[in-house]
Amino acid sequence: MSKKSLPVVDVTGPGDVGADECCSSLTSEPLGEERAVELARVFKAMGDPVRLRLLSLIASNQGGEACVCELTGVFDLSGPTISHHLKVLREAALITGERRGTWVYYRVVRERLTQVSMLLDLAPAT
Amino acid sequence: MSKKSLPVVDVTGPGDVGADECCSSLTSEPLGEERAVELARVFKAMGDPVRLRLLSLIASNQGGEACVCELTGVFDLSGPTISHHLKVLREAALITGERRGTWVYYRVVRERLTQVSMLLDLAPAT
On the 0-12 / 13-18 / 19+ scale of CB atoms within 10 A, A70 is middle
User: What is the nearest CA distance from A116 to chain B, expressed in angstroms?
Assistant: 7
Q: What is the mean pLDDT of residues A18-25?
A: 57
CA atoms within 13 A on the CB side of A50: 17
How many inter-chain contacts (A to B, CB under 8 Å) are there? Answer: 135
B-facing residues of A in 53-112 (CB < 8 A) are: 53, 55-57, 59-60, 63-64, 74, 108, 110
First to last CA, chain B: 61
Mean pLDDT for all residues in chain B: 83
In this prediction, residue B29 carries a pLDDT of 86
| Residue A22 in domain | no
Q: Where are the alpha helices (DSSP H) in B2-105?
A: 33-46, 49-60, 68-71, 79-91
pTM reported for the whole predicted model:
0.81
| Residue A24 in domain | no
User: What is the nearest CA distance from B56 to chain A, expressed in angstroms?
Assistant: 5
Does pLDDT of B34 surpass 60? yes
- What's the CATH number where B45 sits? 1.10.10.10
Question: Nearest CA to B126 among A107, A70, A18, A45?
Answer: A107
Using one digit for the tens of pLDDT, what is the confidence trace for A71-97? 998 999 999 999 999 999 999 999 999
Q: What is the mean pLDDT of residues A105-119?
A: 92
| Residue B5 in domain | no
Does pLDDT of A18 surpass 90? no
CA distances from B47 to A110, A123, B4, B118 (A): 20, 22, 38, 18
| Residue A10 in domain | no
Listed in sequence order, the residues at least 6 apart from B13 whose beta carbon sits closer than 8 Å to its beta carbon are B93, B109, B110, B111, B112
- Return the minimum-mean-pLDDT range out of A11-25, A103-117, B26-40, B77-91: A11-25
Closest A-chain CA to B40:
A47
In this prediction, residue A26 carries a pLDDT of 85
Q: What is the rounded CA–CA span in Å between residue A48 and residue B42?
A: 10
B interface mutation test: which of A52, A61, A71, A106 has the most B CBs within 10 A?
Answer: A52
In this prediction, residue A123 carries a pLDDT of 64
In this prediction, residue A20 carries a pLDDT of 47
The Cα angle at residue B59 between residues A14 and B50, in degrees rounded to 5: 60
In this prediction, residue B48 carries a pLDDT of 97
Whether the complex's predicted ipTM is more than 0.85 is answered with: no
- Number of domains making up chain A: 1
User: What is the nearest CA distance from A114 to chain B, expressed in angstroms?
Assistant: 6
Q: What is the rounded CA–CA span in Å between residue A10 and residue B118?
A: 26
Using one digit for the tens of pLDDT, what is the confidence trace for A99-108? 999 999 999 9
In this prediction, residue B64 carries a pLDDT of 85
| Residue B28 in domain | no
| Residue B4 in domain | no
More confident residue, B5 or B21: B21
Does pLDDT of B12 surpass 70? no
| Residue A20 in domain | no
| Residue A85 in domain | yes
Structural domain of B106: 33-120
Q: What is the mean pLDDT of residues B89-108?
A: 96
| Confidence band for B27, pLDDT divided at 50, 70 and 90 | confident
Using one digit for the tens of pLDDT, what is the confidence trace for A45-81? 999 999 999 999 999 998 889 999 999 989 999 999 9
Between β-strands A95-100 and B65-67, what pairing exists: parallel, antiparallel or unpaired? Answer: unpaired
